[in-house]
Amino acid sequence: MLKYGIPLVLCLALGVFLFVGLQRDPRYVPSPLIGKPAPEFTLPSLQDANYPVSSKELLGQPWVLNVWGTWCAGCRQEHDTLLAIARQKAVPLIGLNWKDDNVAAQRWLQQLGNPYAVVAEDREGRTAIDWGVYGAPETFLIGPDGTVLYKHIAPMTMEVWNAEFLPRIEAARAAKGSQS
């Protein structure tokens, strides 16, 4: 019994591991930034290069960073969802325009509507590298103390927003409220 039992159990265990492995999406790479301080940036605003957008100004409240570009199909796909999220006015939604053409990006916002409180222009892609961005659209949630709370890699949906972002935003607000 033992002679056949042990190899059988080992085989089944290996099968389970491989089967679980098949279900996982290799395109999803978990961010090492979660729970760590968000990388700081100061970049020109998309609409007015003289007006700098700085991550420091956002400290003290939860906020969302959405990485997008006009060249990115998934960004077009999630745009209406972002507009709906912006209408909730739950948190400031900051755009990071990643390696894009300024004119095209401004036209995009004029034609489709602007969900962002402000958009930082990352023409050279350096801030995106600091944030470990590898494929737009990516959306980060940053806590009031400046730590990265969550990262969503794929077009934003209302389901993801309600399930992953809103509860964390409320928890961050509650934690901050009990401190002060």
Partner 1 sequence: MIGKIIRTGLLAGLIAFGGQALAIDTEAAFDDPVLQHRYEAINRELRCLVCQNQTIADSNATLAQDLRREVREMIAAGKTDDEIRDFMIERYGDFVLYRPRMTAQNFLLWAAPALLLLIAAVVLVRVVRRRAQDSDIEADGPEAGQS
Q: To the nearest whole angstrom, how small is the minimum distance from the Cβ of residue 63 to partner 1?
A: 20
Q: Considering only residues 15, 113, 125, 167, which one is a binding residue for partner 1 as defined by CB under 8 A?
A: 125
One-letter amino acid identity for 57?
E
List Cβ neighbours of 152 (8 Å cut-off, separation of 6 or more).
138, 139, 140, 160, 164, 165
d(CA 174, CA 176): 5
d(CA 121, CA 97): 5
d(CA 121, CA 99): 8
Q: To the nearest whole angstrom, how small is the minimum distance from the Cβ of residue 72 to partner 1?
A: 11
If binding is defined by CB under 8 A, does position 84 make contact with partner 1? Answer: no
Q: Considering only residues 8, 13, 14, 29, which one is a binding residue for partner 1 as defined by CB under 8 A?
A: 29
d(CA 11, CA 125): 47
Q: Considering only residues 44, 90, 92, 130, which one is a binding residue for partner 1 as defined by CB under 8 A?
A: 130
If binding is defined by CB under 8 A, does position 32 make contact with partner 1? Answer: yes
Q: To the nearest whole angstrom, how small is the minimum distance from the Cβ of residue 134 to partner 1?
A: 4
Q: Considering only residues 76, 99, 123, 168, which one is a binding residue for partner 1 as defined by CB under 8 A?
A: 99
Closest of 136, 135, 138 to residue 150, by C-alpha: 138
Phi and psi angles of residue 17, each rounded to the nearest 5 degrees, phi first = -60, -45
Q: To the nearest whole angstrom, how small is the minimum distance from the Cβ of residue 11 to partner 1?
A: 15
Stretch that binds partner 1, among 25-33, 83-91, 159-167, 170-178 (CB under 8 A): 25-33
**93 to each of 5, 121, 127, 177, how far by Cα in Å?**
57, 14, 17, 21
CB closer to partner 1 out of 19 and 28: 28
Q: To the nearest whole angstrom, how small is the minimum distance from the Cβ of residue 147 to partner 1?
A: 15
Residues that bind partner 1 (CB under 8 A): 26-27, 29-33, 99, 124-126, 128-132, 134-135
